[in-house]
Structure 1
């Protein structure tokens, strides 16, 4: 299809031509934002080059946003969590400076592991999802899973002779987030398969784990002491360990909100 080109188009005809061209070239952001940007260009007396740059940057920014949204969706997070909504005051055991450093994602770029350890309700899952979301927003491929779900998937894959394919699929993500490690004892076969995922990932890949058990308590999950030691060594080598503490993060947050009106008065 060729668009008719002629001089002296009316404003209405020009708008129609722009709309058609944007559809053909798949430029939805320019098509949607063009009228407002054009009006602003007239008001601000933009040059032609400035006007064109504004249009193109609008399209680029929107495409980056949509790619980020697709990566976050592909990660499979069970709910939305962000660092902005994390209540650091309710859990003073977590250093905000350390978390914001982690949010830069340099540790993922270097393929380093991260361990979040603490009792239930201390904000581990919130932090795990929030940091995973930050990584997805910065262009990294992220995958979230529960430890038991991952092990069950690996066992099924091994039974169906698809283990290598499944491990390779997890190996392609830049950051693998494993939540709720330590809530259930794994049999030897399941523990060995999980160990395989943790150790056979390429060096450029990172893993982040949230566990309600200290490393000393991981023997309840990995009953083979040597296997347990090997996994701990893998995760602590050049890794970051954050202890979220023993006080209930959820209860502390609730208590702080309940006391807020009385304090304000």
Structure 2
């Protein structure tokens, strides 16, 4: 390793930053060439994974960025099934293009739970993008007016998990429900949805204002979904009574 400085410079040039800490130790005389190469490659793979997760986290635009499933306090989610959460944390639902629907009253932790599940997906090196339904509709309408709808639909169809928060909070007009249908149809069998709503699925038809489109959209979502129903008191209220942070 007499050319250590030259190798170090070449690694920097090739952006093999994972190699550098190992080269700096100068403690590899007792390793075979293959052992040393394996150590270098493992370090680079770990660094690449860390960078990818950081990039995916930033791109996801989650409402809550510092919540994780392994920190979940189940006493705040009395109706949540531990085994179901563990199963969903494995992310096989993403690989099979299934959806998750989280239903619960205001304050029961729907959005927080969605973000925790999203972090598990990101740690699995799969992409996530968070929207409130109202903001998603605004973006679809704007793209349609600017002639950029197909570009946006193509972008959204590449996301592994699209989170739609606050589903059903407002009635949709004719154009909005048409655009939402286009998005759901475009993503069918290409990715998963993670939907939160204050309203039971049986009440979702009302927000569309059109039974035919409602049936078409919901048929593509509901029958291919894992369902979570959150019950109990407002988490904010419980934490306030405990004297903890919300």
TM-score computed with the length of structure 2 as normaliser: 0.88
CA distance in 1 between partners of 2:228 and 2:141 (Å): 30
Match of 2:24 in 1: 35
Gaps of 5+ in 2: none
Q: Do residues 248 (structure 1) and 234 (structure 2) align?
A: yes
Match of 2:59 in 1: 74
Match of 2:72 in 1: 86
Say whether the 8 Å CA contact 1:198–1:207 is kept in structure 2: no
Indicate how the Cα distance of structure 1 residues 189 and 125 shifts in structure 2: closer, same or farther if over 3 A, else same. same
- Residue in structure 1 matching 2:44, options 59, 63, 66: 59
Indicate how the Cα distance of structure 1 residues 211 and 135 shifts in structure 2: closer, same or farther if over 3 A, else same. same
Say whether the 8 Å CA contact 2:104–2:198 is kept in structure 1: yes
Larger deviation, residues 161-170 vs 53-62: 161-170
Say whether the 8 Å CA contact 2:77–2:232 is kept in structure 1: no
CA distance in 2 between partners of 1:256 and 1:34 (Å): 51
CA distance in 2 between partners of 1:248 and 1:212 (Å): 13
User: What does 1:132-171 align with in structure 2 at a 5 Å threshold?
Assistant: 132-171=118-157
CA distance in 2 between partners of 1:100 and 1:110 (Å): 17
Q: CA deviation at 1:256?
A: 4.2
Cα displacement string for residues 127-154 of structure 1 (whole angstroms, at most 9, x for unaligned residues): 2122222212212222211100110111
Q: CA deviation at 1:220?
A: 4.5
Q: Do residues 125 (structure 1) and 111 (structure 2) align?
A: yes
Question: Matched residue of 1:181: which SS?
Answer: coil
CA distance in 1 between partners of 2:167 and 2:216 (Å): 16
Cα displacement string for residues 79-138 of structure 1 (whole angstroms, at most 9, x for unaligned residues): 312112322121121112111211111111111111011112211111212222221221
Whichever of the two has the greater Rg, that structure is: 1
CA distance in 1 between partners of 2:128 and 2:230 (Å): 23
Larger deviation, residues 222-231 vs 92-101: 222-231
Q: CA deviation at 1:32?
A: 3.1
Provide runs of 4+ in structure 1 moved above 6 Å.
Answer: none
Q: CA deviation at 1:191?
A: 2.0
User: What does 1:154-193 align with in structure 2 at a 5 Å threshold?
Assistant: 154-193=140-179
CA distance in 2 between partners of 1:131 and 1:104 (Å): 10
CA distance in 2 between partners of 1:182 and 1:249 (Å): 22
Larger deviation, residues 115-124 vs 227-236: 227-236
TM-score computed with the length of structure 1 as normaliser: 0.82
Q: CA deviation at 1:69?
A: 1.4
Question: Matched residue of 2:178: which SS?
Answer: helix
Match of 2:81 in 1: 95
User: How big is the alpha-carbon RMSD for the aligned residues of Structure 1 and Structure 2?
Assistant: 2.2
Gaps of 5+ in 1: 1-6, 259-265
Cα displacement string for residues 202-256 of structure 1 (whole angstroms, at most 9, x for unaligned residues): 4131111111111133244222233333333222212111111242123224434
